[in-house]
Amino acid sequence: MSNVFDESHPPSRALADDCVHCGFCLPACPTYQLWGEEMDSPRGRIHLISLGLDGEVALDRTFVEHFDACLGCMACTTACPSGVDYASLLEATRGQIERRVPRPVGEALHRDLVLTVLPRRWALRAVALVGWVHQRLGLAALTQALPDRWRALAELLPQVDLGAALRPLRRQWTTDAPRMRVGLLAGCVQSVFFREVHEATARVLVAEGCEVVVPPGAGCCGALSHHAGRDDDARRRARETIEAFADVDRVVVDAAGCGSSMKRYAQLLDGEAASDFSSRVCDVHELLDELEPRAKRHPLPLRVAYHDACHLAHGQGIRGEPRRLLRAIPGLTLVEVPEGDTCCGSAGIYNLTQPEPAAALGRAKAERIDGLDVDLVAAANPGCALQIQRHQGRPVVHPVQLLDASLRATSLAGASEGAARG
């Protein structure tokens, strides 16, 4: 048989051959932990890709299911001593699957809906409105009758602040003699359901001497589409994002999944003008770690569990920066979550398309947090925040919201109220 992948961005034989089958990645892989199946481990999935390249398996439902079940958490890349680029292998394979393998009608409809709504602010605002009505009328019981995938959509919705969800984000924050001009990615989900994170990020950066702009042309960065294998949509969004941030020194991101994807635009766009852009992209923790602090930190007497978002820790190698940011806040005690580098089950749209394993991972993460004596959880990705909030009772905030509260000498509630006022 011949190679089952076509010529349009197939997975690389050379990258697949980098795997020496040592198995060091297996204990780090959440889906291998859940099921103990070789084909649901990184090594097994790479072997499937090699079999596909040799034409020894078909691009059939079984093949697809093993790649749909992968979280894309990249814990395997951290664990791999041979430096196998699993991210590129996974992205290329998912692109082939998405273009060429038909899905059952119900699954295809659900996937289309999720990938149509999530990247669009107007659609998310419509969801916020429906969710607000739903929550005001106390109709939660109705969602219990829905099939798993559709119920997951309803259950993930946070408590909706309708005013905040519908109000456009401020476009500019200025300061005297700025150190640099930074562009903040507003994005999609975060700009509607977590706008207080963006506002905290902007206030903190201004307090540290930066001018902050939110370019109107920058919407969804394409991460959700790219992770799902919808590469044409991801490329279009990547080009729009690059154009929108043409006149800033740095592009600041406060959502781990977006930053991870934007740093990989060169791979997505085959170079083009993406390398220069990606070199200007930084996560907000990276930039704050780089800047000499100017603003006074006030005490914030809280015990905080820090959750490593996969696309920050594994995707971007950012582990120390958020911890240093939190430890620099007087009175704040940073508490490590046991097995903190294991995915919470959010993983882009994974908790919507694979609700059962996502819930199992979410419950496991919640149990590990429940065993800690903490006031709240800090997580730097909106998907993680929703997932962790859903499975345990403590508030989940972005680390930059804690720094914002410290700089403003206010409680977190005060910071949120200030953010809501704009």
What Cα–Cα distance (Å) separates residue 212 from each residue in 165, 206, 248, 286? 21, 7, 9, 16
Q: Which is nearer to ligand SF4, 74 or 256 (CB)?
A: 74
Instruction: Tell me how far, at minimum, the Cβ of 135 lies from ligand SF4, in Å.
Output: 33
293 touching ligand SF4, by CB under 6 A = no
Instruction: Tell me how far, at minimum, the Cβ of 71 lies from ligand SF4, in Å.
Output: 4
209 touching ligand SF4, by CB under 6 A = no
Q: Which stretch binds ligand SF4 (CB under 6 A): 79-87, 135-143, 247-255, 384-392?
A: 79-87
Q: Which of 412, 2, 406 lies closest to 207 in space, CA to CA?
A: 406
DSSP for 251-290, written as a single string: EEE-SHHHHHHHTTHHHHTTSTTHHHHHHHEEEHHHHHHH
**Which two three-digit tokens encode residue 241?**
């994002």
DSSP for 99-138, written as a single string: HH----HHHHHHHHHHHHHTT-HHHHHHHHHHHHHHHHTT
Among 48, 49, 73, 397, binds ligand SF4 (CB under 6 A): 73
Q: Which stretch binds ligand SF4 (CB under 6 A): 23-31, 182-190, 365-373, 407-415?
A: 23-31
Q: Which stretch binds ligand SF4 (CB under 6 A): 17-25, 145-153, 184-192, 414-422?
A: 17-25
DSSP 3-state of 175: coil
Residue type, 261: S
Q: Which is nearer to ligand SF4, 39 or 415 (CB)?
A: 39
The vertex-381 CA angle with 380 and 384, nearest 5°, equals: 110
Instruction: Tell me how far, at minimum, the Cβ of 396 lies from ligand SF4, in Å.
Output: 22
Instruction: Tell me how far, at minimum, the Cβ of 358 lies from ligand SF4, in Å.
Output: 11
84 touching ligand SF4, by CB under 6 A = yes
Q: Which is nearer to ligand SF4, 30 or 131 (CB)?
A: 30
DSSP for 283-313, written as a single string: EHHHHHHHSPP-SPPPP---EEEEE--HHHH
Q: Which is nearer to ligand SF4, 383 or 399 (CB)?
A: 383
DSSP 3-state of 40: helix
Binding site for ligand SF4 (CB under 6 A): 19-25, 28-31, 42-43, 45-46, 70-76, 79-80, 82, 84, 86
